[in-house]
């Protein structure tokens, strides 16, 4: 095709401050959603008789050609056209002629961008859910394999009571499970089509917002046009969900960093963890886990930027809202990278069982167990607590097995408590770290994972349905 002169920019985007107003650099990522939304809008206009069948077909055909151009990287983006919406409309008119000017009937960029963003959110949740489920699978597999390996459990980062590596890894699993739950719930709440709200007050033309909602597989159309064009709750929720996910990832990153230090020595410092030092020949640093930890700050910053921008905006649309895209996109890209690196990282962790066992054999970890043993013999817990504390202080943090029988309620049995594997096996209360309890936990984690995979497939189908609108052959 010969590239003729570009059509002039419409008057509404011409301004001395045009470069400052432009949003193309961030919103061109919305092109597919914008195009799919336009296909649905054109079909609705056809359905209510505002376009003839021929006009509808021309518009839809042109939009699909543009989708192809965008996908192939052939689309010529024009910065002076301000945003993705006007870029598409101008190109459409270039392709199909003056009928292209009918696409924007009963539509504003205000309801259009809100629609694009809701479709973006749906696809974003689906695309992040895949690597997140993979990360959860990695945690689950490692937890199953390390179900019986004892290690110290910590409070205040001080050795507290024995747990197993499997139990610790599953604690991270459940955090991520809630993150995924929140993301799905966010997608469900966002499942409302704002198209038909117009600039702020709907339209005098006989449009059918419910038809657009159906075509795009939304649960329902908006209830209030002012709310529809100004609501960015869904993006704030998305970025919050991402920020909390990043915070959870940072805690896992921190534990990897700690456990890979020589002080802990629970993890081997393998090349999978990161790179070396340009100066110190001996170094092998846990850089990946450190960056996972560090990137949380940036995502929290995205959330603060977004909420601060939204604060105090009068109804309905305000141009401030254009600043919603960069934080959302940054948070999504950052968290996706974090999750994608963490899954393989967790799979590649090399635990050092000897170090874990040795640390778990610290007698102080069993202080509570000894006290509880005394409680079984009828000693009040407070008295047992005092007696065991005094015993440990007197023996430099160790137990003198021969003297345990002399504690209040003590017997020959008491000394048998002093084995980390036995101690951990006894903690079989529901949700506890005993291998038997962890086996039950693994079962519910597996069941949860397959439930989540099923929810994700239905979300994936909705995402695919929107993609189908952009294909020539529709069934
Ligand atoms: N780029 C704008 C945004 O992201 C699109 C809506 C523009 N609306 C307007 N009235 N100028 O919010």
Give the Å distance between the CA of 110 and the centre of ligand 1.
6
- CATH code of residue 420: 1.10.40.30
Kindly write down the DSSP assignment for every residue of 220-259, as one continuous string: EE-S-HHHHHH--HHHHHHHHHHHHHHHHHHHHHHHHHHH
Catalytic residue, chosen from 15, 277, 457, 458, is: 277
| pLDDT digit string (tens) for the chain, length 475 residues | 456 788 999 999 999 999 999 999 999 999 999 999 999 999 999 999 999 999 999 999 999 999 999 999 999 999 999 999 999 999 999 999 999 999 999 999 999 999 999 999 999 999 999 999 999 999 999 999 999 999 999 999 999 999 999 999 999 999 999 999 999 999 999 999 999 999 999 999 999 999 999 999 999 999 999 999 999 999 999 999 999 999 999 999 999 999 999 999 999 999 999 888 888 888 889 999 999 999 999 999 999 999 999 999 999 999 999 999 999 999 999 999 999 999 999 999 999 999 999 999 999 999 999 999 999 999 999 999 999 999 999 999 999 988 999 999 999 888 887 888 999 999 999 999 999 999 999 999 999 999 999 999 999 999 999 999 999 765 4
Is residue 82 within 6 Å of ligand 1 at its C-beta?
no
Are residues 402 and 286 part of one domain? no
Which class for 18: exposed (0-12), middle (13-18), buried (19 or more C-beta within 10 A)?
Answer: middle
The owner of tokens 């970890």 is 365
Q: Which of 297, 328, 351 is the last residue of a domain?
A: 351
Rounded to 10°, the helix 325-348/287-310 angle is 160
Are residues 389 and 366 part of one domain? yes
Are residues 295 and 338 part of one domain? yes
- CATH code of residue 287: 1.20.200.10
Nearest CA to ligand 1 atom 12: 322
Give the Å distance between the CA of 44 and the centre of ligand 1.
22
210 within a domain of the structure (yes/no): no
C-alpha triplet 210, 452, 216: angle, nearest 5°:
20
Contact predicate 135/176, CB 8 Å: yes
CA 385 to CA 392: how far, in whole Å? 11
Which class for 447: exposed (0-12), middle (13-18), buried (19 or more C-beta within 10 A)?
Answer: exposed
Nearest CA to ligand 1 atom 2: 322
95 within a domain of the structure (yes/no): yes
Give the Å distance between the CA of 291 and the centre of ligand 1.
35
- What is each CA distance from 406 to 54, 402, 409, in whole angstroms? 97, 8, 8
Q: Which of 295, 327, 351 is the last residue of a domain?
A: 351
Are residues 189 and 70 part of one domain? no
Are residues 344 and 276 part of one domain? yes
440 within a domain of the structure (yes/no): no
132 within a domain of the structure (yes/no): yes
434 within a domain of the structure (yes/no): no
- CATH code of residue 31: 1.10.275.10
Are residues 198 and 293 part of one domain? yes
Is residue 87 within 6 Å of ligand 1 at its C-beta?
no
- State which ligand 1 atom lies nearest to the alpha carbon of 321: 12
Are residues 182 and 264 part of one domain? yes
159 within a domain of the structure (yes/no): no
Of 46, 116, 58, the residue nearest 87 (C-alpha): 116
pLDDT digits over 358-374, tens only?
999 999 999 999 999 99
pLDDT at 3: 62
Give the Å distance between the CA of 93 and the centre of ligand 1.
20
CA 343 to CA 131: how far, in whole Å? 7
Residues 6+ apart with CB under 8 A from 159: 152, 153, 359, 362, 364, 365
Neighbours of 181 (CB within 10 A): 14
- Is 277 tagged catalytic? yes
Q: Which of 326, 351, 376 is the last residue of a domain?
A: 351
Are residues 403 and 322 part of one domain? no
444 within a domain of the structure (yes/no): no
Structural domain including 72 reads 11-105
Is residue 83 within 6 Å of ligand 1 at its C-beta?
yes
Are residues 85 and 33 part of one domain? yes
Neighbours of 276 (CB within 10 A): 14
pLDDT at 60: 98
Kindly write down the DSSP assignment for every residue of 188-207, as one continuous string: HHT-EE-TT-TTTT--SS--
Ligand 1 mutation target, pool 319, 323, 326, 328, most atoms within 8 A of CB: 319
Contact predicate 241/283, CB 8 Å: no
The radius of gyration of the chain's CA atoms, rounded to the nearest angstrom, is: 30
- What is each CA distance from 317 to 230, 322, 449, in whole angstroms? 5, 10, 40
pLDDT at 475: 43
- Is 38 tagged catalytic? no
- State which ligand 1 atom lies nearest to the alpha carbon of 317: 10
Are residues 81 and 41 part of one domain? yes
Number of domains in the chain: 3
Are residues 407 and 325 part of one domain? no
336 within a domain of the structure (yes/no): yes
pLDDT at 358: 96
Are residues 101 and 61 part of one domain? yes
Is residue 113 within 6 Å of ligand 1 at its C-beta?
yes
């Amino acid at each position: 095709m010969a590239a003729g002169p570009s059509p002039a920019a419409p008057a509404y985007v011409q301004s001395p401050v045009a470069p400052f107003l432009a949003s193309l650099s961030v919103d061109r990522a919305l092109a597919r959603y914008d195009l799919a939304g336009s296909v649905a809008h054109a079909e609705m206009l056809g359905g209510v008789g505002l376009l003839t069948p021929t006009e509808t077909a021309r518009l839809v055909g042109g939009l699909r050609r543009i989708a192809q151009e965008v996908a192939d990287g052939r689309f010529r983006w024009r910065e002076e056209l301000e945003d993705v919406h006007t870029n598409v409309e101008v190109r459409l008119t270039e392709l199909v002629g003056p009928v292209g000017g009918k696409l924007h009937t009963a539509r504003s960029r205000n309801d259009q961008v809100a629609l694009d963003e809701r479709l973006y959110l749906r696809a974003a949740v689906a695309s992040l859910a895949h690597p997140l489920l993979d990360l959860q699978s990695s945690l689950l597999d490692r937890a199953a394999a390390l179900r019986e390996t004892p290690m110290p459990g910590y409070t205040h980062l001080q050795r507290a009571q024995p747990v197993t590596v499997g139990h610790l890894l599953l604690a991270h699993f459940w955090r991520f499970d809630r993150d995924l739950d929140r993301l799905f719930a966010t997608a469900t709440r966002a499942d409302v089509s704002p198209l038909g709200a117009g600039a702020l007050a709907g339209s005098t033309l006989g449009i059918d917002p419910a038809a657009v909602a159906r075509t795009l597989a939304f649960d329902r159309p908006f209830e209030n046009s002012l709310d529809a064009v100004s609501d960015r709750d869904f993006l704030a929720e998305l970025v919050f969900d991402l920020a909390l996910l990043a915070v959870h990832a940072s805690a896992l990153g921190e534990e990897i960093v700690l456990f890979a230090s020589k002080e802990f020595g629970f993890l081997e410092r393998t090349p999978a963890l990161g790179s070396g030092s340009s100066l110190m020949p001996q170094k092998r640093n846990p850089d990946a886990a450190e960056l996972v930890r560090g990137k949380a700050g940036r995502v929290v910053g995205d959330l603060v930027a977004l909420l601060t921008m939204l604060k105090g905006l009068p109804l309905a649309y305000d141009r401030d809202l254009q600043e919603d895209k960069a934080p959302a996109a940054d948070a999504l890209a950052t968290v996706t990278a974090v999750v994608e690196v963490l899954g393989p990282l967790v799979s590649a962790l090399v635990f050092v069982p000897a170090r874990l066992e040795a640390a778990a054999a610290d007698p102080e970890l069993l202080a509570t167990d000894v006290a509880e043993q005394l409680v079984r013999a009828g000693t009040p817990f407070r008295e047992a607590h005092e007696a065991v504390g005094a015993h440990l202080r007197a023996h430099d943090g160790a137990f003198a097995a021969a003297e345990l029988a002399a504690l209040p309620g003590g017997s020959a049995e008491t000394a048998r408590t002093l084995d980390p594997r036995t101690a951990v096996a006894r903690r079989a209360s529901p949700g506890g770290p005993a291998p038997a309890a962890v086996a039950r936990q693994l079962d519910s984690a597996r069941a949860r994972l397959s439930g989540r995979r099923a929810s994700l497939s239905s979300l994936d189908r909705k995402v695919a349905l929107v993609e189908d609108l952009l294909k020539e052959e529709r069934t």
